[in-house]
Homo-oligomer: A and B are copies of this chain.
Amino acid sequence: MYRFTNDYSEGAHPRILQALWETNLEQTLGYGEDPFCHEAAELIKARLGRQDVDIHFIPGGTQTNLIAISAFLRPHEAVIAPVTGHVEVHEAGAIEATGHKVVTAPGKEGKLRPGDIQEVLDFHMDEHMVKPKLVYISNATELGSIYTKGELTELSRFCREHDLLLYVDGARLGSALTAPGNDLTFPELAGLVDAFYIGGTKNGALIGEALVICTDHLKEDFRFHIKQKGALLAKGRLLGLQFKELFRDDLFFQLAERANRLAARIQGALEELGCQFLVHSPTNLIFPILPNSIIAQLQKDYDFLIWQKVDGEHTAVRLATSWACPEEVVDRFILRVRELFQNR
């Protein structure tokens, strides 16, 4: 049984474990004030080509979202998210638990456009309603799609014109930035948004996300919020060390690119077999629509998510590839799918 269920089924990239071994008995300060965290932050700043950002390492994605959003907003301010957004659907009400409403817009293929936001703003007229203030998007999205430079630029301009904050959930930012067709650079991203996070957990780390705060007035006292929400790890070094390893060369991007490439191979093979997809994804999550009979056969050897019923005979599934997926597994999967399609 091989799991294409998600991109966090394995442990960490071996270089990360190696670094844990080598530094294990070095004594450091706690709570993210160790040299590893400092070095990791410097490496990321160098990649972004700027020093004027604040970087914080936080154990998980839901936690990063809830800390950032609750720190950035006043009590009456709300989040605008696409209906598919992680904060809306899959965080068990984490944002609301900090007191803020999440207002949704339908969006398209997991992405928000200025027009979607404008409709939300038009609907919220006065103090009897919440005040929409922060636009939450994911890149790559929960459906595997990505924002082009043009799309993000337009969104950024709209937000600035309307005094809205723009926040990017980058749980799969590596995948987005290394996807075929992506024309957005890492520094450009940072220049267009108020804050974003760089996802480690889904791209080779054991645990950890790096929150990057770009806008000055959002930086103040941020460590209080991390502590208050229980995310200031005593051994913060665990997070810093991993990001240091991921960013001291191209490892972070190589791992993401590799996962994308493997997904693209599967996608290409399925397209050749005439398969349709729920949404076009250039990243490591793909959503083929398969005949139910083939799904049943595949499930004997592979685990993946059943996503959505399409018609009486077809269902969309989600396949996720990861940095750790062996090339041969993909080879075998493709062979098996071809076989199943031919024997249909």
Known: A27-B3, A76-B225, A207-B207. A127 touches B10 (CB 8 A): no
> Roughly how many angstroms separate A62 CA and B232 CA in the complex, as a whole number?
9
Whether A93 pairs with B324 at a CB distance below 8 angstroms is no
Known: A9-B27, A224-B131. A234 touches B201 (CB 8 A): yes
Residues of B within 8 A of A226 (CB): 127
Whether B129 pairs with A225 at a CB distance below 8 angstroms is no
Interface of A is mostly: loop
> Roughly how many angstroms separate A151 CA and B273 CA in the complex, as a whole number?
50
Whether B60 pairs with A234 at a CB distance below 8 angstroms is yes
Whether B130 pairs with A229 at a CB distance below 8 angstroms is no
Say yes or no for A75: interface residue by CB 8 A criterion. yes
Task: Name, among A3, A6, A63, A227, the residue most crowded by chain B CB atoms within 10 Å (CB to CB).
Answer: A227
> Roughly how many angstroms separate A224 CA and B74 CA in the complex, as a whole number?
10
Residues of B within 8 A of A66 (CB): 229-230
A230, closest chain B residue (CB)? B63
Residues of B within 8 A of A131 (CB): 221, 224
Whether A20 pairs with B11 at a CB distance below 8 angstroms is yes
Known: A224-B76, A230-B60, A230-B66. A11 touches B97 (CB 8 A): no
Whether A96 pairs with B94 at a CB distance below 8 angstroms is no
Whether B127 pairs with A92 at a CB distance below 8 angstroms is yes
A30, closest chain B residue (CB)? B8
Known: A8-B30, A130-B93. A233 touches B207 (CB 8 A): yes
Say yes or no for A12: interface residue by CB 8 A criterion. yes
How many identical subunits does the complex contain? 4
Instruction: Please encode chain A, from 12 to 27, with 1 for each CB lying within 8 Å of some chain B CB and 0 for all others.
Output: 1010010011011111
Contact partner, A128, options B96, B99, B102, B227, Cβ 8 Å: B227
Whether A89 pairs with B228 at a CB distance below 8 angstroms is no
Say yes or no for A235: interface residue by CB 8 A criterion. yes
Residues of B within 8 A of A2 (CB): 27
Residues of B within 8 A of A65 (CB): 230
Expressed in whole angstroms, the minimum distance between the Cβ of A97 and any Cβ of chain B is: 5
Whether A228 pairs with B27 at a CB distance below 8 angstroms is no
Whether B129 pairs with A221 at a CB distance below 8 angstroms is no
Say yes or no for A78: interface residue by CB 8 A criterion. yes
Whether B233 pairs with A90 at a CB distance below 8 angstroms is no
Say yes or no for A318: interface residue by CB 8 A criterion. no
Interface residues of A in 12-57 (CB under 8 A from B): 12, 14, 17, 20-21, 23-31
Residues of B within 8 A of A20 (CB): 11-12, 17, 20, 206
Residues of B within 8 A of A75 (CB): 70-71, 97-98, 225, 228
Say yes or no for A189: interface residue by CB 8 A criterion. no
Say yes or no for A116: interface residue by CB 8 A criterion. no
Expressed in whole angstroms, the minimum distance between the Cβ of A183 and any Cβ of chain B is: 29
Say yes or no for A179: interface residue by CB 8 A criterion. no
Expressed in whole angstroms, the minimum distance between the Cβ of A64 and any Cβ of chain B is: 8
A4, closest chain B residue (CB)? B27
Expressed in whole angstroms, the minimum distance between the Cβ of A266 and any Cβ of chain B is: 17
Whether A28 pairs with B9 at a CB distance below 8 angstroms is yes
> Roughly how many angstroms separate A131 CA and B202 CA in the complex, as a whole number?
26
Residues of B within 8 A of A237 (CB): 11
> Roughly how many angstroms separate A92 CA and B207 CA in the complex, as a whole number?
24
The 5 closest A-B CB pairs, nearest first, are A63-B230, A76-B224, A11-B24, A9-B27, A92-B227
